[in-house]
Amino acid sequence: MPNTALEANLRGIGDGARLEQLAVDLLGREGYDVDPTGVRGPDGGRDALLERSGKSGVLHCSVTSSNIEKKIRSDAESAADYPEEFDFFIFATTTEIAGVKRDRLENELADTYGWRVHIKDFARLRKDLMDIDNHDLAQEHLHVAPQNALDDPEQDVDELYEAQIDRLRERQPRYGELLDEEPIVAVHVIPVESVSDPPGMIATDLPDPPKFRSRSAGTEGYGDFIITAPYTELSEERFSEYVCLDGNGWVEAVTTKMTMERNGRYGIAWFIDKEIVSLIDRLQEMYETMGIYLPLYVYITIIGAVNYPIEKPEGVVGPDSTRPISENVFQLKRVKIDGWDSNIALALREPLYQLWNRIGWRNGSIHYSKSEDGFEWDPYRT
């Protein structure tokens, strides 16, 4: 089944508060009167009191995805301890539960507590929202325009990225001009919201995006986008590096300052991984604060470095010399960030390993270590 805009935004709804608001409105369409209690648990869970046809019940909501059956049983047990007597129990979650397991769990809880039990899991919520009568709720709560609800947003995200790369091939930034002919390291972060229901903000409504490489930078607005760049370059509108936040929510971060010279040879600096991970970490925080819907799609591209290797730190065990990147536009594997608690460094490991493998470093990036439990982000320090 394609990952439609509606599905992507439902998965990325964010927290229990948003899920409760959506569930409450859907239940209202089904004839329930809802009295939100405002109670919120540490996992983002919420609950609200319900009434229909003279019978009372309780709604619990949670975006917890790990061990969802245990979570549902725990919430049912908590509801049974409330002073109110309930006739039914409804649980809403964006987790996908196999139909057989869901039905079995409903029957188990009904037998245990004497309630009518209904679990609105991902499949049931999706079905409700695909009903044409609920398209307005998809737009209100998930920022999905009804006419785009069944589109595949990943194709639209890829097309948006490719359009930006076509421009950067010609060394044309979003605004102004690039200062020199050094290789470009470009990072694009595109939320699904940018293509499913773009917010269309103007510069005065946008937050300051973080710096990329620069240790001293300012931010200035240009109509429907905003740029963070070094102060002198920002004033002259000639950039060696910048981070541009578009009013539709996507980011283009560019630097031509990721090269170094050693023994008369120029290469991409060995700390490229650390700079990219740090940037994405801060962008993730910015998006969460903005209230942008997940997922985020991350693209890393190196342009104009066909003859450049990566220069490793002295003293690091590895190849004595690395081979050039040998590709004018080297596009690394796309990464999908679908949780605000995602470990960015580990999420980016595969594309960064892809880069180091390309230049002959068989064991991958020097900034990760391997243990019995998997991989750890262990950035090399010099």
Strand (E) or helix (H) holding 77? helix 68-80
The region of weakest confidence among 24-33, 283-292, 296-305, 314-323 is 314-323
Mean pLDDT to the nearest integer, 272-278: 95
As a whole number of angstroms, the distance between CA 351 and CA 336 comes to 12
Q: Which of 8-22, 51-65, 286-300 has the highest mean pLDDT?
A: 286-300
Predicted pLDDT of residue 150? 64
Question: Can you list the domains of the chain with their CATH numbers?
Answer: 5-148 (3.40.1350), 153-377 (no CATH)
244 pLDDT more than 60: yes
Chain mean pLDDT for the chain: 87
271 pLDDT more than 80: yes
Percent of the chain with pLDDT over 70: 91
322 pLDDT more than 80: no
As a whole number of angstroms, the distance between CA 107 and CA 337 comes to 35
249 pLDDT more than 60: yes
Mean pLDDT to the nearest integer, 343-350: 95
As a whole number of angstroms, the distance between CA 160 and CA 176 comes to 20
As a whole number of angstroms, the distance between CA 251 and CA 242 comes to 10
As a whole number of angstroms, the distance between CA 202 and CA 225 comes to 6
Residue 251's nearest CA partner among 160, 344, 154 is 160
Ramachandran bin of 123, using left for φ above 0, alpha for ψ from -120 to 50, beta for the remaining angles: alpha
119 pLDDT more than 60: yes
149 pLDDT more than 70: no
Q: Provide CB contacts within 8 A for 8, sequence distance 6+.
A: 153, 154, 192, 196, 295
Q: Cβ-count burial of 120 within 10 angstroms (0-12 exposed, 13-18 middle, 19+ buried)? A: buried
| pLDDT tier at 305, thresholds 50, 70, 90 | very high
